[in-house]
Amino acid sequence: MRKDHRPYFVKNLQNKYVKWYTDRYLRPQFRHLGKSPALIRPWHVQVFGYSVEVGDYATIIAEPHSNVHFVSWAQADLEDLAAIMDGSDKRVGAKAKEEARALGQGLIKLGDYVLVCPGVRIQAATRITIGNGVMFAQGAYVTDADWHGIYDRCMPVGSTAPVEIGDNAWIGDHAIVCKGVTIGENSVIGAGSVVRRDVPANSIAAGNPCQVVKELDPERAVKGREAMFANHDELQKMLSAADKDAHDQNTLWGWLRYLLFPRYGD
């Protein structure tokens, strides 16, 4: 498709449906989902576990064959944890159980203004902390665990170590960030890299194993994604005006023709 053939009113209705779907079906799956998230095809965002948190103004893009996965893996018995939090072995209430669920899961915490592209997988058994403005290109993978014992293949999860990604980092296409890694703020991880060791701030790193290949120019400031949202209301008005201008000449019949009888140039 070279052109979006939808009439403006159709795109508006679809956008409202996406927002309704996000709030009705996806938001309850997060421990926290901040204000004004922008999701594309939210029905292809998969959330497993009780401890996934996402900050404000997140952009999450999913596709039918490139779902986005957030996996928070349990490592503790809920009843035991709830009893510990309640201070006794007696039956505990729903609130204590909910807190116990969160305590017994690997934590995934994303900051504000993050960008998550199709096919991204983030899987935590201990803790993965992601700063503000971090960008994940298509197919990037972040994990804090081996997911099986090295010698005991029946042992789930295996060795774990927390992962931390600093503000404004950029994780490239199909890069892999392994357990125990810290990536400093503003750093860029090249496409296809396998990050097994820490990457300092303000660096460009690439390869397998990933290593620093360049330092960012200290004389140049890094403009993070938060700059896009400095005036969110004005941004929304600008995007709406651009949408209206791009779709205003489209007709319902033209859109139906494209759907039923596509032709070269569509």
Contacts of residue 86, defined as CB under 8 A and 6 or more positions apart, other chains included, come to: 92, 93, 96
135: closest CA among 112, 108, 116, 118? 116
Q: How far apart are CA 251 and CA 5, in angstroms?
A: 8
What's the CA gap between 104 and 14, in Å, rounded?
38
* Cα-Cα-Cα-Cα dihedral sign, residues 129, 131, 132, 134: negative
Dihedrals φ, ψ of 212, to 5°? -65, 130
- Return the active site residues: 148
- Give 232's Cβ-side CA count (13 Å radius): 9
Edge-first strand listing for the sheet containing 141-143 = 45-48, 68-72, 121-124, 141-143, 176-177, 194-195
Cα separation values, 198 from 183, 185, 210, 233, 243, Å: 6, 12, 9, 38, 42
Query: What is the gyration radius of the CA atoms in the chain, in angstroms?
Result: 21
Over the range 65-75, which residues count as b (16 or more CB within 10 Å of their CB) and which as e? Answer: eebbbbbbbbe
